[in-house]
Structure 1
């Protein structure tokens, strides 16, 4: 398998390549370099992300940010995904993890091809011009936005389980209540208010400290679920099904959602002090997260079988210390990860609207990010179906950002003729897998969401 930097390959390497795809035979680097200014791109990124965009984050900090990007709410839905696909679908989790790790490397190579390709949209423009930039931006920002919405839904569900019947209202002189917010809606709003200040951090180096808490929380949740099974009497009595073909689309969509960090990989890479080590960051992050996801999937499915809910924490027995600790710890993940998802989207808006002469840049940035948080609250209140929403995000948006687009961009930038047979075959296999997941998973998820309404 050829995984070395494709930019350094000569024409002689393409002698044994597979048949070329239409429009992908010739690299486009020369045309792109003529119309982009790398220095200007760096200035814009520094304006939006702060000083760490210039490469100030250490290897360890980037690992924490990467682990936080890949681990999180997907951890809670992974037992449900396994129940949908059956035990044999665990093999698909490994396949998806390997494919997404490889496409992450492809994104890094695309960035190495040009100093101006500093973000996902720029990689799309490098490959297909303005149309590629618009397509990449649409899928990227839609994915990040809906993942942020999912965080709020998750928080609302779990807090409502901890504090059922909670409500908040404004009392009038006559004793009437003008506004009443209760249950999940109340907690969605309160959580958004608490998370809001973390979105104002523009330095990824500083945000790494927040990410570290999220990484620790993911490990603690798995330990708490294990403790519930061993010490609190739940046990491992469920057998489950070996294979459920009808549930494979949902399972694949959720598996893909677990590895939907590609949207912010370029941001993480650009934040590093030593960008050449980003491939090592990817390897560490994917290996650690796959181990954590696999452990949680097996534990949850052995404990509850086909009765496992879309969030395994909703199955845990009430009143137990381990259950409360698991839920409380679960609440940390969105707090630590929400800002990481919103930052690229907010930065894109700021880059569009801010100019070098804009006064009060900091205040403007805070206002933009506050409005984004408010809009995610509105969507979370309107579409409170966590499992189905995450399956839809995974099937449609995450597949595009994590599998399909990196492969297509890579082939377009470097040309099929410069890739070896094994590499082209591997990329083609990922494209086929991604297309199947996108088509079947999107249909299945939309059908379930419509049914809920």
Structure 2
């Protein structure tokens, strides 16, 4: 008990006084020494911590949840949403408990303490793959949405193919001119100012989805002219205008991975914990619960009304459906530009943890090197760019990343690390919960990935 008090005292000291802590790889407790505490520095407020965590939770996943609802049904989606969000909050509870017991404020270091070097490597690789998948999904949105956004702003009749209609070319230009320079900066703290807008962008997105539900008739119109000048023939009928409560198909395998992808915020939990004013496990758990709850509400609203707009014909990237039936709509244009702006400036922020984990795994504790910094940045962005260019559907990114790294970081690792490091009885509530969390993660990951591979094989 004394060790736990000392651990929490050291944790509170370093969380509140950054001049002491150095970087997040520094252990929060050294030799069980309790240090005296100054009284000058104040951490982040509860509200600002909620917004920071919501920004870590909400991202490109919100664009794919209407497609997930179309392939599970309204009730099926709601059940899975409650299940995944609750398990996400519970796995955060286990991580915070481990943080309190060990005095460590880094996901990789908790993995190392639990499973030695293999644990650190597993967490590092998972973080790299997860963030590469997230960046790929963001760049995929730029590839698909940026040409449509430019086209709607150009006032002229479509006669010939223009260069700005090539999403791949625009993606390469944006990556080289905007994303790469920002990612090369050793410090991009000024981008943190834009994160406060992300929540309001997502709220505006949900509002637009609700409003535009009544702007598109059902059944969907036939022979609609697309923004590229072609025609799309709809095969929608009156029977498609009734929402399905439960749907089971091969495409349903994408639902849980997409939700896991959409609720993963565990790599940001501990840094936000350290920024919190008067940090305590209970206070940070409340931050997590409020953030996950509000995110779930926005996810449900956007998914429900997106599904009720297009029903079975909803696109895996929701905004693309509005181009066909509401070309040059002002609200759709503004929400598209808002999301594109948020996505463009979010990629460098997501890139930083991936680069840090890659340098930590490949080069160990070497001092800062400009060559290593540039090399790692270019390689990671190159991989992300290739994935965004050649992956044909964003649901593939959500599905594979969600079924593998998201499942590990969200369910498996917190449960395994808790079982390894917790000194309490195996029959305790949290130990049983950790076992169930691990079992659920393994089952859902294996089942979802298997169905995704089968779907690929059948479609090819």
TM-score class normalised by the smaller sequence? 0.7 to 0.9
Deviation for aligned residue 1:201: 6.1
Deviations 1:281-307 (A, max 9, x none): 212210110010011111111111111
Deviations 1:344-380 (A, max 9, x none): 1222345564868657x6x864664354323321222
- Conserved 8 A contact 1:73-1:333: no
* Residue of structure 1 in register with 2:168 after alignment: 185
Rounded to whole Å, the distance in 2 between the matches of 1:449 and 1:151 is 22
- Conserved 8 A contact 1:224-1:322: yes
SS of aligned partner of 1:417: coil
* Residue of structure 1 in register with 2:341 after alignment: 332
Paired residues, number: 394
Rounded to whole Å, the distance in 2 between the matches of 1:63 and 1:145 is 25
Deviation for aligned residue 1:268: 3.1
- Conserved 8 A contact 1:214-1:336: no
1:194 aligns with 2:178: yes
Q: 1:282 to 1:203 in 2, by over 3 A?
A: farther
* Residue of structure 2 in register with 1:253 after alignment: 257
Gaps in structure 2 of 5+ consecutive residues: 6-17, 27-40, 154-162, 220-239
* Residue of structure 2 in register with 1:103 after alignment: 91
Rounded to whole Å, the distance in 1 between the matches of 2:186 and 2:278 is 20
1:445 aligns with 2:452: yes
SS of aligned partner of 2:271: helix
Name the TM-score, length of structure 1 as normaliser. Answer: 0.77
- Conserved 8 A contact 2:213-2:306: no
Q: 1:136 to 1:293 in 2, by over 3 A?
A: same
Rounded to whole Å, the distance in 2 between the matches of 1:336 and 1:104 is 27
Q: 1:348 to 1:205 in 2, by over 3 A?
A: same
Deviation for aligned residue 1:275: 3.6
- Conserved 8 A contact 2:128-2:357: no
* Residue of structure 1 in register with 2:225 after alignment: none
- What are the within-5 Å matches in structure 2 for residues 10-409 of structure 1? 42-45=21-24, 59-89=46-76, 90-115=78-103, 117-163=104-150, 183-192=166-175, 193-200=177-184, 206-230=190-214, 232-234=215-217, 238-246=241-249, 247-272=251-276, 274-276=278-280, 277-316=283-322, 317-351=326-360, 353=363, 358=368, 365=373, 368-409=376-417
SS of aligned partner of 2:242: coil
Q: Higher mean Cα deviation, 73-82 or 389-398?
A: 389-398
Deviation for aligned residue 1:390: 0.9
Rounded to whole Å, the distance in 1 between the matches of 2:320 and 2:313 is 11
SS of aligned partner of 2:241: coil
Rounded to whole Å, the distance in 1 between the matches of 2:186 and 2:79 is 38
Deviation for aligned residue 1:393: 1.1
Deviation for aligned residue 1:153: 0.7
Q: 1:427 to 1:382 in 2, by over 3 A?
A: same
* Residue of structure 1 in register with 2:229 after alignment: none
- Conserved 8 A contact 2:114-2:421: yes
Name the TM-score, length of structure 2 as normaliser. Answer: 0.76
Deviations 1:186-237 (A, max 9, x none): 122133232334435666864432211211111111111122123x344798
Deviation for aligned residue 1:414: 0.3
Which of residues 406, 421, 431 in structure 2 aligns to 1:413?
421
- Conserved 8 A contact 2:91-2:411: yes
- Conserved 8 A contact 2:72-2:248: yes
* Residue of structure 2 in register with 1:14 after alignment: none
- Conserved 8 A contact 1:403-1:431: yes
Q: 1:60 to 1:365 in 2, by over 3 A?
A: farther
- Conserved 8 A contact 1:201-1:207: no
Rounded to whole Å, the distance in 2 between the matches of 1:424 and 1:223 is 41
Deviations 1:359-412 (A, max 9, x none): 7x6x86466435432332122223242112111111121111101111111111
Q: Higher mean Cα deviation, 130-139 or 365-374?
A: 365-374
Gaps in structure 1 of 5+ consecutive residues: 10-38, 48-53, 167-179
Rounded to whole Å, the distance in 2 between the matches of 1:64 and 1:404 is 26
Rounded to whole Å, the distance in 2 between the matches of 1:393 and 1:150 is 10
